[in-house]
Amino acid sequence: MNSGPRSDAAAAVRARVSLRQLEAFCAVVIAGGVSRAAVRLARTQSAVSASLAELEAAIGTALFERAGRGLRATEAARRLLPRALEVVERAAELPALASGAPDDAQRLQVGASRTIGPFVMPTLIARLAARRPGTTVELSVANTAELLARLRRLELDLAFVEGHVVDPEVSIVEWMRDELCLFARAGHPVLSTLRGGRPSAGFRDALVGARWALREPGSGTQDTFLRALSPVIGQPRAGVVADDPLALQRLVAEGDWLGCLSRRAIADALRAGTLVALPAPDRDVARALVRRFWVVRLPGRYRGDALDALLAEAGVPAERAVSAGASARRSGPGRRSRR
């Protein structure tokens, strides 16, 4: 049994730290300010500020510093946030647990990049809803770069992305393959350079001289397109840039631009004949246009049953998605006990 001044001090800190204080702390860090946190928590700004002051006094450490007219989280706050958020999220599960309510009454904050969001997630979320009708999913659709930033700010539980991810702060797991497709409107002049659907003389020159309808910087689609095509046609000339795949395919259908999107995104238009798939200029480009979708998480983030269920529906091994090959993370604070 522990005793002595150190254990007495720890007990005193635990007695002074409250859930209300931790809720205020997490909300201020995630929302980026006291006023926005107050709205998020349905409290007054003075009440949120008081909770922050009480928490700092209880743990004996400054958690925020003034930055202009706002607050900036200290290094101590960034270290505390994952553990504090876990306490808050676990506490939210207690009422249902105590009342014997169905254990699927949880909320998930999920991000999906702009191809995955409209063309893959509806089926996945519908399957989850059939299995866990009480779970609420808040789906945010944005490009890969924005989703990674939101993950680091702990605004999302996980994200499904299509872009190349190089970030030591997150764990990634391969989810599924996806093929990007070059395409043009029906009747586009570039089609005259094909013979039986294959490139003929002039096809590569037509790609070099074309103006392109491109996805925005930071998107996985643009990243894959540039890495695949730039070695062959040089820097493509952008005629229009759009962050919405549906808008981009309509732009190509109505104009003389060429496009590149996931085959999933243009499948209906290809079947209808309003868009025509173009072949890759060579086998290397064809291979480079096949990319991976990824599931991305912060390794130390708390994971509840609803998140495990979503990963199961997606066919992703939950343990892999959390640990990403780092054995030390398997026993970290984000691992939910199965006892």
Per-residue DSSP letters for 317-337? -HHHHHHTT-GGGGGSTTPPP
Q: What is the residue whose two structure tokens read 């066919």?
A: 315
Is pLDDT of 6 > 80?
Answer: no
Residue 105 confidence (pLDDT): 65
Tens digit of pLDDT for each residue in 132-170?
Answer: 998 899 999 999 989 998 888 888 999 999 977 888 878
Share of the chain above pLDDT 90, in %: 52
DSSP, collapsed to helix, strand or coil, labels residue 40 as helix
Query: For strand 171-185 and strand 275-278, is the pairing parallel, antiparallel, or unpaired?
Result: antiparallel
66 or 334, greater pLDDT: 66
Q: Which residues have C-beta within 8 Å of that of residue 31, sequence separation ≥ 6?
A: 37, 39, 40
Residue 70 confidence (pLDDT): 76
Residue 159, judged by CB atoms within 10 A of its CB (0-12, 13-18, 19+), counts as buried
Residue 324 confidence (pLDDT): 35
326 or 121, greater pLDDT: 121
Is pLDDT of 291 > 90?
Answer: yes
139 or 42, greater pLDDT: 139
**Averaged pLDDT, 111-118:** 95
- Specify whether the backbone of 107 is left (phi greater than 0), alpha (psi in -120 to 50) or beta: beta
Tens digit of pLDDT for each residue in 205-254?
Answer: 999 999 999 999 989 999 999 999 999 999 999 999 999 999 999 999 99
Is pLDDT of 280 > 80?
Answer: yes
Domains along the sequence of the chain with CATH:
5-92 (1.10.10.10), 106-339 (3.40.190.290)
Residue 4 confidence (pLDDT): 57
Residue 111 confidence (pLDDT): 97
Residue 336 confidence (pLDDT): 38
Dist. CA 3–CA 107, nearest whole Å: 40
Dist. CA 297–CA 114, nearest whole Å: 18
Dist. CA 62–CA 296, nearest whole Å: 31
Residue 31 confidence (pLDDT): 76
pTM higher than the cut 0.85: no
Q: Which two tokens stand for residue 200?
A: 């003929």
- Cα–Cα–Cα angle for 320, 323, 324, rounded to 5 degrees: 70
